[in-house]
Amino acid sequence: METLVLRLDQVALRLGGRPVLRDVSLDLRAGEFVGLIGANGAGKTTLLRVILGLLRPNSGSVEVLGRPLRRGNPAVGYVPQKQQLDPETPLRGRDLVALGIDGQRWGIPLPSRKRRMRVDEALRAVDAIHYADAPVGKLSGGEQQRLLIAQALLADPQILLLDEPLSNLDIRSANEVVQLVARIGRERGVAVLLVAHDMNPMLDVMDRVLYLAEGRSAIGRVDEVVRTEVLSRLYGYPVDVLHVRGRILVVGGAEMLMGGQREHEVHTHE
């Protein structure tokens, strides 16, 4: 059995008096790929902030490699939501990646040769060495995402958290990023927790799905979790899971007829 790298046990969190996470539990093992799925406001980014030690839960516990959570743990790599970069920014690709070293170090930086070798290794890991010296603002969204993943790999993490890395990417780029992350997880034994709205690009590589709704969670295989009875329990009201033309539509009852914002969809294989 693979090493347990992350354990969430009944994690609950309130913000501004409102429950955001309700008794979320997860055991994540080395080399495992888990998709963290849910609509806007479900608590996905909040859960990542808890794992990063940026938010302290009101109850429950978080352990990394069998030890209580601490902020700034190098075992946890993080790829934040990508911000739109100015096309005119002079920052090169390798400079962006190098922030994974320089952004968390005090004092004298690493010697330039050793530093460059580490950056180049990370660039090769994400197949980005050929545009390492290009201005990042001129790169595509998928290329920029690869650089952010390379930045997170510099500390040799055992857990990789990715917050909406597929947003604003076309289908091809999204699939390429997912396959890249899955390969890195397999080759390096890194556990992956990837936040997304659409699980379709991950279906071929995802071991389990952690589905969040109204702060509640369900963990398991897609066919175990994305079901009418399971999601109705999470949302706290009737939800229908509909299979339509190769897609799964998750619809919140009357709210669909009223034009509410609860409706979203999770795609299956075409």
pLDDT tens column, 184-238: 999 999 999 999 988 878 988 999 999 999 889 999 998 899 899 999 999 888 8
Phi-psi sector, 154: left (phi>0), alpha (psi -120 to 50), beta = alpha
Cβ burial of 12 (10 Å; 0-12, 13-18, 19+) is middle
Distance of CA 151 to the CA centre of its chain: 15
Task: Show the domains of the chain with their CATH numbers.
Answer: 1-75+157-237 (3.40.50.300), 87-152 (no CATH)
For residue 253, pLDDT beyond 80: no
Contacts of 115 (CB under 8 A, 6+ apart): 98, 101, 109
The per-residue pLDDT for 1 is 64
- Which amino acid, residue 9? D
For residue 38, pLDDT beyond 70: yes
For residue 176, pLDDT beyond 60: yes
CA-nearest of 215, 102, 100 to 147 is 100
Contact between 151 and 96 under an 8 Å Cβ cutoff? The reply is: yes
Q: Return the number of other C-beta atoms located less than 10 Å from residue 163's C-beta.
A: 19
For residue 261, pLDDT beyond 60: no
Joined together, the tokens standing for residue 232 give: 């109705």
The per-residue pLDDT for 34 is 98
Taking the C-alpha atoms of residue 79 and residue 195, their distance in angstroms, rounded to an integer, is: 10
The per-residue pLDDT for 109 is 53
Joined together, the tokens standing for residue 229 give: 């009875």
pTM here is 0.87
The per-residue pLDDT for 69 is 85
The per-residue pLDDT for 102 is 59
pLDDT tens column, 40-53: 888 999 999 999 99
pLDDT tens column, 74-90: 899 999 987 767 777 78
